[in-house]
Amino acid sequence: MDNLQMEIDLTTSNIKISDDVNTWEEVNLLYNSALKQITTKIEILNEEFQEVHRYNPIEHVKARVKAPESIVKKLKRNGYESTIENMVRYVNDIAGIRIICSFTSDIYRIAEMISNQKDIQVLTVKDYIMNPKNSGYRSYHMIVSIPVYLSDRIVNVKVEVQIRTVAMDFWASLEHKIQYKFEGKAPTHINSELYECARMVADLDARMLSLNDEIQAIEEQMGK
C-alpha cells in the first residue's frame, strides 16, 4: 500500500493516480478530516437534544480510519487491484463511525438527524434491524458523503455510519472476535448459538424500549 501514489486534482474533487509521493498521507488526511467533521456534527446534535428534550440519545461514539492492510484485503477479496482509484471507488468504509445508543427508537431518530444535515448526502442505507443478516447481526448502516473543506478545494468524502444499541454492539463485537478466530468458518453449533443470542438481544431491546416508554408515560402523568 505504501507504494501507491495519488494526487488531488486542484481544479476538481476527483482523485487520480500520479507519481507523487505521500499518497497514503493525502488519503489519510481526507478521511480523518471527514471523520472529525461528522463527529463534531453528531456531538452538536446530541448536545442540542439534551438541551431541548433533557435526554441524550447517544451513549458514545467510535470513529476510525481503516488500516491500509485491511483495505488491500477487502479489495482483493472483491476482485479489485490494490490501487488508490479502486480504494476510493469501491471501499465505502475507509472512514467509519459507530454511534451507540440506548434504544432502537434512538437509532432511527439519529439517522433522521444526520440525513437532515444539508451538507451531508446519504448515498445508501441498509437497515439490518428490520432485515437482520442470516447470522443474526442487527445494525443500521448509512454510507454518506461529507464535504471536506481544504485550503484550496472541497473534496467530498464517503463515510460509513453504523448506528446500533448497546446490546447490538456487544453481540456484534463478540461475533466479530469469534469469526476472526475461526477465519469466518466457525463450527455450526457456535453459529447457531450466536444466532440464538442475537434473537435474545432483539427481545431485550424491545422489552427495554417498552419499559422506557412506560416510564416516560408515568413521568408525563406525574408532571400534569
Residue 214 bears catalytic tag:
no
Q: Is the pLDDT of residue 19 over 90?
A: no
Residue 29 counted as domain residue: yes
Domain that residue 135 falls in: 7-167
Contact 141, 126 (CB under 8 A): yes
SS3 letters for 96-132?
EEEEEECCHHHHHHHHHHHHCCCCCEEEEEEECCCCC
Residue 74 counted as domain residue: yes
Residue 2 counted as domain residue: no
Residue 46 counted as domain residue: yes
Average pLDDT, integer, range 122-143: 96
Residue 129 counted as domain residue: yes
- Joined grid coordinates for residue 173: 463485537
Catalytic pick from 160, 175, 193, 214?
160
Average pLDDT, integer, range 190-194: 93
Residue 209 counted as domain residue: no
- What pLDDT sits at residue 23? 67
- What pLDDT sits at residue 8? 29
The larger pLDDT score, comparing residue 197 to residue 89, is at: 197
CATH of the domain at 143: 3.30.460.10
- pTM assigned to the model: 0.84
Average pLDDT, integer, range 31-44: 94
Average pLDDT, integer, range 48-54: 85
Q: Is the pLDDT of residue 11 over 70?
A: no
Mean pLDDT of the chain: 86
Contact 84, 4 (CB under 8 A): yes
Alpha helices in the chain (DSSP H): 23-53, 68-77, 84-90, 104-115, 166-181, 188-223
Residue 80 counted as domain residue: yes
Q: Tens digits of per-residue pLDDT, 149-183?
A: 888 788 899 999 999 999 999 999 999 999 888 88
Average pLDDT, integer, range 200-212: 95
- What pLDDT sits at residue 224? 53
Q: Is the pLDDT of residue 219 over 90?
A: no
Residue 190 counted as domain residue: no
Domain count, the chain: 1
- What pLDDT sits at residue 27? 84
